[in-house]
Amino acid sequence: MAPTDITKPAPPQHIAIIMDGNGRWAKKRGLPRTAGHAAGAESFRRIANYCRTLGVRYLTVYAFSTENWKRSSEEVAGIMKLLRRYLEEALQDMEKNRVCFRFFGDLSKLSPDLQKLCHDAEKRSEDYDVQVNFCLNYGGRDEIVQAARRFAEDVAAGKHNPEDLTEDLLSGYLYSADVPDPELIIRPSGEKRTSNFLLWQSAYSEYVFMNVLWPDFSPSDLDEAIEEYHRRNRRFGGT
Ligand code: IPE
Ligand code: IPE
Ligand code: MG
């Protein structure tokens, strides 16, 4: 879909977001952490829709990391329940929302019903405007390890020689195969770290760290991040 405002420069084609700050949002209101995650899911819906109207092609969101299993079993169960509900609704509204889904992460650790929902959502690839890459049980290091393992298996099976390995070939073994690297990565919540997100793909991404908590993140915050991105001078090692 074309950007609606022709006076604005085109947005990045791929934006990635670390959806952080749900717990603090809930704490500020004296609510349980799961209420923060529910508000975070609403924020995601709003921002995914807004990305579609802006003409952003890929939106990658960090929803659950390989380290997030350290949280209490109640919190993990609450997050999984919200994901299930979100995916059930998304499957019904897929045509209307013109969104398609990919999942980045080791889904084998999720419950069988959630795995099935993820696979069903991935299979449905009607005409769409935005591809949402949902990072679930995702870790950047884990992604590289599993890519290396699969390449080693292909070498053992005689499909490749070790010296065939290039950056492009390794990229093809990552969850993000065929997806261009994100130009812009946004982390709300005030934290300034990657927390194991897109370690390979972020080599030349522009980071924008913002003080807003994810449930409060609004379309105007996204506009602000995109404006900041346009002010950056990307050199890719050149001059
Ligand atoms: C992000 O919000 C959601 C997940 C990591 C699943 P947090 O739950 O990390 O919120 P804070 O950082 O504790 O505020
Ligand atoms: C990163 O946030 C993971 C997600 C947003 C899903 P965390 O809250 O887990 O990161 P840390 O623990 O602050 O580094
Ligand atoms: Mg956090």
Residues labelled catalytic: 20, 68
In a domain, 9, yes or no: no
pTM of the model: 0.96
pLDDT at 123: 87
pLDDT at 5: 60
Neighbouring-strand partners of residue 60: 16, 133
Averaged pLDDT of the chain: 95
Q: How far apart are CA 61 and CA 63, in angstroms?
A: 6
pLDDT at 82: 97
Q: How far apart are CA 124 and CA 99, in angstroms?
A: 10
pLDDT at 169: 98
In a domain, 8, yes or no: no
Protein residue with least CA distance to atom 3, ligand 2: 65
Which residues have beta carbons under 5 A from ligand 3 (an ion)? 20
pLDDT at 91: 87
Q: How far apart are CA 136 and CA 64, in angstroms?
A: 5
Task: Give the phi and the psi of residue 131 in degrees, each rounded to 5.
Answer: -100, 120
pLDDT at 3: 53
CB of 210 closer than 8 Å to CB of 88: no
In a domain, 99, yes or no: yes
Torsion sign across C-alpha atoms 177, 179, 182, 183: positive
**Residue 34: CATH number of its domain:** 3.40.1180.10
pLDDT at 92: 87
* Lining residues, ligand 2, CB within 6 Å: 18-20, 62-65, 68, 191, 193, 195
Residue listed under structure tokens 């997100």 = 197
Question: Could you say which residues of the chain have pLDDT below 50?
Answer: none
In a domain, 7, yes or no: no
Domain count across the chain: 1
